[in-house]
Amino acid sequence: MPHNPDHPADRPYLVRVAVPKPLPRLFDYVAEGLGVPAPGARVRVPFGRQSITGICVAVDPADPHPDPKPVEDLLDHHNVLGDELLALAHWLADYYHHPLGEVLGTLLPAAARRGAPLTLRREPIWRLTEARPDLRRAPRQQALAEFLGRHGGRARPQELAEAGFTREVISGLAAKGALVRDFAARDSAGRDAAPPGAASEHRVELPTLNPEQQTAFDRLQQGTGRFTPTLLEGVTGSGKTEVYLRLIDTVRRAGRQVLVLVPEIALTPQTLRRFERRFGAAATFHSNMTDAQRLDVWLRCRAGEVGILIGTRSAVLTPFADLGLIVVDEEHDGSFKQQDGLRYSARDVAVKRAQGLGIPLLLGSATPSLETLVNASAGRYGHLQLTGRAGGARMPEFHLLDIRGHTLRDGISDRLRRIMRVHLEAGGQALVFLNRRGFAPSYLCPSCGWQAVCRHCEMRMTLHRKPEALICHHCGQRQAPPRSCPGCGRGELLAVGLGTQRTEAGLEAMFPDVPLYRIDRDSVRSQRRLEAQLAAIRTGKPAILVGTQMLAKGHHFPNVTLVAVINADSGFLSADFRAPERTAQLIIQVAGRAGRAERPGEVWIQTHQPENVMLAALIEEGYPGFVERELEHRRAAGLPPFRPMALIRAEGRESEPPQAFLREVKETLLSAAGAAGNVEVLGPAAAPIPRVADRLRFQLMVLADARGPLHRTLRAITDSPPRAAGVRWSVDVDPYDTF
Ligand code: ADP
Ligand code: ZN
Ligand code: ZN
C-alpha cells in the first residue's frame, strides 16, 4: 500500500472525516497501520450502528476528539476528487450552507459512495491502422478490413468472432500492419469514445458564419485560456449552437476538454446528433444512466479520456483532467437549479469552476435570466448578441388575441380556429401551447360546490382521461373520480378548466382529418415514443402539435408556421416573484418554434388581459422590453438580482413546530445581522403551496444588501441550528422559486 512519505505511519493517527449525513460537523476516527490518506480519500467508518463511506478532510487535526472510534478501512490513499473538485466542495458547503459530508456525497457517483474501486475498466479492441496493404489475394482479410471500416475502424474481439472472423484472419491482417491491438474505454452508449484529436477525422461541411456569428466567434477566441465569462444572447435559431461548435473545436484542437450543460438531454436528441456529426462521439451524463455508466463516464472525464461531455445539471460536478471550456446552453432554464438536498445552481457552479480554472465560460440563451443580464450590463460578463436568424429564416410576427367576451371551445376561440385552418391549408403545421397537462384542473359539483381536493395537499386535483383518474400534481396522489357528488349526492360533477388532453380532444373534433400529436409528460413516457413523434412531425406534413413546455425546449420544427398560446395570463398572475420572468421566457421560447425555415411564422397569444403591461411590453418590444420593465419592478421591490435572497423552509405534521422553529431562526438571524440593518427577514409565512403530502409548509425570506452580510447571517443558523423536533427544514440560497 502506498504511504504518505511525510507522515509517520507506524503510530496511530487521527483522520477527520466528512460523513454523508445532514449534520453540520466533522467526525474524528483513529487509524493505525493502514497507510495515511490524503484529504479527499474515501474512508470507511462506523457511524451509529452503520458502516458508512466518508471522505478524509484532514489528518491529525489540531483539536482532536478525545475518544475517537477506529477507522474500518481506507478505500483510497489519494484524493479521488482531485484538488479542484475538493476545493469546490468546500466552496459549495460554504455558499449553499450545506453539510460538507453531504456535499462530498453529492460529488461522488453513487457507485463510488458504495465503495466501488475507482479505476477504469478498459477493453481490448482491434483497431485499423492507416496502412492499406494489397488484400486482393486474401478475401477474408479484405472482408475484415471492410467490416472494421464500417464500424468506425475498431471492434471488440468478441464482435469480430460473432461476425465470423477467425483468429487466423485477424492475425493475418495484423501481420500486414493493417490492424493493431488497442484499448478503449467505453462511453455510456457502449460505443468507443473518440480518442483525443479525433475531432478532425469527423470534419463536415461547415456553414460560413454570418457577420454577427463571426464577430462573436472572434471575440470568444480571444478569450480562450483565461476566465472570460460571456453571455451569448441570440434569438432562437440565430446560430448560437453553431458558435458553440466552432469554439469547442478550437479548444479541442488545443487538446483540452469541454463541458456542455444542457437543460434536458432526453428532449434534445437533435443537438446530441449535431455534436456527434461534428466531433465523433461525445459522452453524455444524465439521470437516466445506470450507476455503472455514470461511474465510467466520471472516471474517463477525470482521466482526460472524454473530449466533450454533454450533460444535465449534475454534470457540472464532474472532475476533469484538463477542462478548457464550459458552455451552458439555455442558461436561464430552471432545471439547472437543484430543488432538494444540495440546492446548487449548475450555472452558478459553472461560473465558479471556470473562474477557479481560469477558463472561458459561455452562457447562451434567447431569453437570458435577469441575473445574467445584470451581470453582463455591469461589465462582469462579456455580452455578445445575435439579432437575426441564421440561414435566412425570418422572425415570427406576434399578435395578441383578445378573448374577452368570446366563447371558447376547449380553449380555442373561433378566430384562432380560422387562423389555424389557414395555416394548415397552406401546408404548414400549427403548434398549440398550454402549460397544463391532464384534461381539466378541477372537478366539481355545481349544485353544492364540492371540489376534488387532494387529501394530503389541500390542492385541487387534476382530472386525467385515458386512463381516467384524479391526480394531484403536487404529491402524485391518484384516485378514481367519483361518479356522483360526494358532497350532496345529487349533483352531476363537472370538469372545469383546461388541460392539454382537453384541448387535444377539442382539436380532434375541429380538425378530424389533420394528424395531431400531443407532447407532454403523460404522453411522452419513453424516449422512443418521443423520438417517433418528433420524426413524424419533421416529415413536415400538415399537423397539429399540442403540448406543454416540453414543446418549447430546443426542438427544431422547420414546418411550424403558427404558434398559438392558449392562456398567457395565468403565469403573469402567480404569487412567485420569478413567475413573470419564467412566463415571458416560455412564451418567447415557444414562439421561437415558428418559422424556423423558409416559411415565415406567426404567433397568436390568447388573453383576457390585453392591457397587461408586461404582456404588452413582451409583444411590442420583445424580450428586452419585458426585461426592462421587470428589472424596474425588481429593483423597486428590492428583489434579486438587486439583492441576494435565501429562503429558509420548514415543514411539519403540525403547524406550530415549524412556525416556532422559524421564529427562533428569525431572531437568531436578526441578532447575527447586527445593528447594521442591511439584512431583512420576512416571515414566517405559509408557503405558496401551504401543504404537500400531509406536511404543513412555512418559510422565511432573507434578503440582504450584499452577499457578505447574507452569508455571515445564514452561518449563525447553519453552524448551530436551533433544535427542531418534528420539523424538516432547509436553506435555499438563490432560490429559483418560492413554492
Ligand atoms: P440556435 O442555437 O441559436 O437556436 P442554431 O445554431 O441551431 O441556432 O442555428 C439554427 C439553424 O441555422 C440550424 O439549422 C443551423 O444549422 C443553421 N445555421 C446556423 N448558422 C448558420 C450559418 N452561418 N449559415 C447557414 N445556416 C446556419
Ligand atoms: Zn354536490
Ligand atoms: Zn397531493
pLDDT value, residue 22: 87
Q: Is residue 262 in contact with ligand 1, taking CB distance under 6 Å?
A: no
Task: Please tell me the distance from the alpha carbon of residue 213 to that of residue 614, in angstroms, as a whole number.
Answer: 31
Atom of ligand 1 nearest to the CA of 274: 16
- Alpha-carbon dihedral sign for residues 178, 181, 186, 187: negative
- Whether the per-residue pLDDT at 191 is higher than 60: the answer is no
Query: pLDDT tens across 538-592, in order?
Result: 898 999 999 998 887 767 788 899 999 998 887 777 778 999 999 999 999 888 8
pLDDT value, residue 392: 65
Residue whose Cα lies nearest atom 26 of ligand 1: it is 391
Burial call 570-595: b when 16+ CB within 10 Å, e when fewer: ebbeeeebbbbbbbbbbbbbbbbbbb
- DSSP state letter for 306: -
Atom of ligand 1 nearest to the CA of 366: 3
Task: Please tell me the distance from the alpha carbon of residue 123 to that of residue 296, in angstroms, as a whole number.
Answer: 12
Task: Please tell me the distance from the alpha carbon of residue 733 to that of residue 679, in angstroms, as a whole number.
Answer: 14
Judging by DSSP bridges, how do beta strands 308-311 and 323-329 pair with one another? unpaired
Per-residue cell: 188 = 455510456
**Does residue 448 contact residue 487 with C-beta atoms inside 8 Å?**
yes
**Does residue 563 contact residue 594 with C-beta atoms inside 8 Å?**
yes
How far away, in angstroms, is 275 Cα from ligand 1 center? 13
Q: 213, 235, 241, 384: which to mutate for ligand 1, most atoms within 8 A of CB?
A: 241
* Residue that wins the pLDDT comparison between 311 and 198: 311
Q: Is residue 268 in contact with ligand 1, taking CB distance under 6 Å?
A: no
> How many Cβ atoms from other residues are within 10 Å of residue 164's Cβ?
11
Q: Is residue 241 in contact with ligand 1, taking CB distance under 6 Å?
A: yes
Give the range among 187-196, 507-516, 675-684, 713-722 with minimum mean pLDDT: 187-196
- Whether the per-residue pLDDT at 343 is higher than 50: the answer is yes
How far away, in angstroms, is 333 Cα from ligand 3 center? 26
pLDDT value, residue 184: 67
- Whether the per-residue pLDDT at 676 is higher than 80: the answer is no
Query: pLDDT tens across 124-183, in order?
Result: 788 888 778 889 899 999 999 988 888 777 888 888 888 889 988 998 998 888 888 876
Q: Is residue 213 in contact with ligand 1, taking CB distance under 6 Å?
A: yes
How far away, in angstroms, is 365 Cα from ligand 1 center? 14
Q: Who's near 410: CB < 8 A, 6+ residues apart?
A: 498, 502, 503, 505, 506, 507
* Residue that wins the pLDDT comparison between 277 and 494: 494
359 phi-psi bin (left φ>0, alpha ψ -120 to 50, beta other): beta
How far away, in angstroms, is 13 Cα from ligand 1 center? 60
How far away, in angstroms, is 409 Cα from ligand 3 center? 29
- Whether the per-residue pLDDT at 625 is higher than 70: the answer is yes
Residue type, 296: D
pLDDT value, residue 28: 96
Q: What is the pTM of this model?
A: 0.86
- Whether the per-residue pLDDT at 186 is higher than 80: the answer is no
Confidence of residue 598 (pLDDT cuts 50, 70, 90): low
Share of the chain above pLDDT 70, in %: 93
Task: Please tell me the distance from the alpha carbon of residue 183 to that of residue 204, in angstroms, as a whole number.
Answer: 27
Query: Among 587, 668, 580, which Cα is nearest to 366's?
Result: 587
pLDDT value, residue 377: 96
Query: Among 202, 281, 269, 204, which Cα is nearest to 242's?
Result: 204
pLDDT value, residue 523: 82
pLDDT value, residue 550: 83
Query: pLDDT tens across 225-235, in order?
Result: 899 999 999 98
Judging by DSSP bridges, how do beta strands 408-409 and 283-285 pair with one another? unpaired
Task: Please tell me the distance from the alpha carbon of residue 280 to that of residue 184, in angstroms, as a whole number.
Answer: 15
pLDDT value, residue 192: 42
**Helix, strand counts (H, E) of the chain:** 20, 33
pLDDT value, residue 358: 97
How far away, in angstroms, is 716 Cα from ligand 3 center? 34
How far away, in angstroms, is 695 Cα from ligand 2 center? 28
Q: Is residue 428 in contact with ligand 1, taking CB distance under 6 Å?
A: no
DSSP 449-478: --B-B-TTT-SBPEEETTTTEEE-TTT--E
pLDDT value, residue 198: 44
pLDDT value, residue 3: 46
Share of the chain above pLDDT 90, in %: 60
Most distant CA pair in the chain, distance: 92
Strands (E), 331-428: 361-365, 382-386, 397-402, 408-409, 412-413
How far away, in angstroms, is 133 Cα from ligand 2 center? 86
pLDDT value, residue 10: 64
Q: Is residue 234 in contact with ligand 1, taking CB distance under 6 Å?
A: yes
Burial call 474-484: b when 16+ CB within 10 Å, e when fewer: bbebeeeeeee
Query: pLDDT tens across 412-422, in order?
Result: 999 999 999 99
Q: Is residue 523 in contact with ligand 1, taking CB distance under 6 Å?
A: no
- Extract long-range pairs of 367-370: CB within 8 Å, 24+ residues apart: 367/332, 367/584, 367/585, 367/588, 367/589, 367/623, 368/231, 368/233, 368/331, 368/332, 369/331, 369/332, 369/581, 370/581, 370/627, 370/630, 370/631, 370/634, 370/640, 370/641
**Which residues are 397's β-sheet partners?**
602
With cell 478475401, the residue in question is 139
Task: Please tell me the distance from the alpha carbon of residue 582 to that of residue 571, in angstroms, as a whole number.
Answer: 8
Task: Please tell me the distance from the alpha carbon of residue 572 to that of residue 592, in angstroms, as a whole number.
Answer: 20
Taking all residues of the chain, what is their mean pLDDT, rounded to a whole number?
A: 89
Atom of ligand 1 nearest to the CA of 235: 3
pLDDT value, residue 280: 76
**Does residue 86 contact residue 109 with C-beta atoms inside 8 Å?**
no
Radius of gyration of the chain (CA): 29
Q: Which ligand is nearest to the CA of 387?
A: 1
Q: Is the peptide bond before 641 cis (omega within 30 degrees of 0)?
A: yes
Task: Please tell me the distance from the alpha carbon of residue 465 to that of residue 362, in angstroms, as a whole number.
Answer: 43
Q: Is residue 558 in contact with ligand 1, taking CB distance under 6 Å?
A: no
Residue 608 has phi, psi (to 5 degrees) of -95, -5
Residue whose Cα lies nearest atom 19 of ligand 1: it is 239
pLDDT value, residue 193: 44
Q: 206, 214, 242, 387: which to mutate for ligand 1, most atoms within 8 A of CB?
A: 242
